[in-house]
């Protein structure tokens, strides 16, 4: 493997890890808090997810000799952010994470199940995702209403970063966020000590519990958005770069790592799409047979970032909640726009997609089950009715 390392693969591996972590860690933290995680549990979950995707990417890349990029489920984290804590709190959410992981493993091991998942209409899956993301994508503008001196610098930095390079938008927003924190927010006495104490990560083992609310409201929607918006596009990116992939082993391996790290608070890891395009393309090296080393470098870098999760979480906890929501929302605007286009491109399925989108975006909770699940159910019923007529 060392003989296959090139300066290009090392640089692109580190860059991809930075983009993958920096662009969405705020979403993950917001999601874990949304389902009841304490600050310690959220830090543990962020650390576990980063280490899980690093290790999983290394294992798959070494085994397949392909640049297999693994990421945490960013749309899944957005789902958690709007789901709210169910009966049983964070332990019930962890139980849902385990159920989701088992479903991902099944989709890889049992092909009929995987085909059934793929049969879910793209319009409904995208509409559900767009509905989930919408409330978070409004957060940057709510932050401006909360305090223009806090919200505007973050938004303007994001715009300026995107003008330079689409990968620089969120890092620029994060720099602005830190600037607002340091120069604008009245930090509590002793905040330095809090950050110092968080340098050593503290894994928090969570005993999972299971109930119908969390399974229907968290596990099933988390599984659907992870498969539809992460795993399937991730496979497509590899194939577009002429890598012949075996779907089953890739899926069940990501499901296995998701399950193992779920008890530490990790919600789900999956095949990546954006960072996969970085690692599988020519920028990672001229020889396609050696690009797998870029994914291995990316994996080790993710692990390093994971070990810093305690400091990241401690610093973010000092900020007004709306500011970290604003950063998370900016990170999801691209995914939201893609999901909306995918939801409404088929004219015949637009009414069903609209019902799914509105139900998922409404934030309703019926019988303790979030609107994402009901949106998918309502959209499916609408699709059946419109097809019969």
Read off the pLDDT of residues 154-206 as tens digits, 9 standing for 90 and up.
899 999 988 887 777 878 888 888 888 878 766 666 666 666 655 666 788 99
As a whole number of angstroms, the distance between CA 118 and CA 112 comes to: 10
Write out pLDDT tens, residues 245-282: 788 889 999 999 999 999 999 999 998 876 777 787 77
CB-CB contact of 99 with 210 (8 Å): yes
**CB distance 211 to 88 below 8 Å:** yes
Q: Is the pTM of this model over 0.75?
A: yes
| Domain ranges, residue 67 | 2-388
Split into its structural domains, the chain has a count of 1
Residue 100: pLDDT above 90?
yes
Assign residue 331 a region (left: φ > 0; alpha: ψ between -120 and 50; beta: otherwise): alpha
Q: What are phi and psi of 167, to 5 degrees?
A: -85, -10
Torsion of CA 295, 297, 303, 307, to 10 degrees: -150
Question: How many other C-beta atoms are found inside a 10 Å radius of the C-beta of residue 385?
Answer: 11
């Amino acid at each position: 493997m060392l003989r296959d390392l090139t300066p290009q693969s090392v640089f692109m591996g580190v860059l991809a890890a930075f983009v993958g972590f920096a662009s969405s860690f705020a979403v993950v933290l917001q999601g874990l808090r949304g389902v009841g995680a304490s600050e310690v549990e959220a830090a543990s979950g962020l650390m576990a997810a980063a280490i899980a995707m690093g290790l999983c990417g290394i294992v798959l890349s070494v085994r397949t000799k392909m640049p297999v990029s693994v990421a945490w489920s960013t749309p899944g984290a957005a789902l958690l952010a709007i789901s709210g804590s169910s009966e049983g709190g964070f332990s019930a959410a962890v139980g849902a994470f385990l159920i989701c992981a088992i479903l991902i493993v099944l989709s890889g091991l049992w092909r009929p199940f995987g085909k059934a998942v793929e049969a879910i209409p793209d319009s409904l899956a995208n509409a559900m995702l767009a509905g989930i993301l919408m409330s978070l994508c409004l957060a940057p503008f709510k932050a401006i209403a909360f305090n223009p001196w806090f919200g505007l610098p973050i938004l303007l930095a994001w715009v300026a970063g995107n003008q330079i390079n689409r990968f620089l938008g969120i890092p620029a927003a994060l720099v602005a966020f830190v600037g607002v924190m340091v120069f604008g927010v009245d930090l509590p006495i002793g905040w330095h000590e809090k950050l110092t104490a968080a340098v050593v990560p503290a894994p928090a083992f969570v005993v999972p519990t299971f109930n119908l609310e969390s399974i229907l409201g968290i596990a099933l929607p988390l599984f659907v958005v992870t498969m539809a918006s992460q795993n399937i596009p991730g496979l497509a990116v590899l194939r577009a770069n002429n890598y012949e992939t075996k779907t089953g082993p890739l899926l069940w391996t990501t499901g296995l790592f998701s399950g193992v790290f779920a008890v530490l608070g990790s919600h789900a890891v999956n095949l990546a799409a954006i960072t996969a395009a970085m690692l599988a393309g020519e920028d990672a090296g001229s020889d396609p047979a050696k690009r797998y080393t870029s994914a291995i470098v990316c994996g080790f870098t993710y692990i390093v970032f994971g070990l810093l999760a305690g400091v990241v979480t401690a610093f973010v906890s000092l900020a007004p909640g709306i500011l970290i929501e604003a950063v998370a929302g900016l990170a999801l605007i691209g995914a939201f726009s893609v999901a909306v286009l995918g939801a409404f491109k088929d004219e015949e399925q637009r009414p069903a997609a609209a019902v799914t989108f509105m139900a998922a975006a409404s934030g309703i909770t019926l019988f303790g089950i979030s609107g994402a699940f009901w949106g998918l159910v309502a959209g499916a019923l609408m699709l059946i009715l419109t097809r019969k007529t």
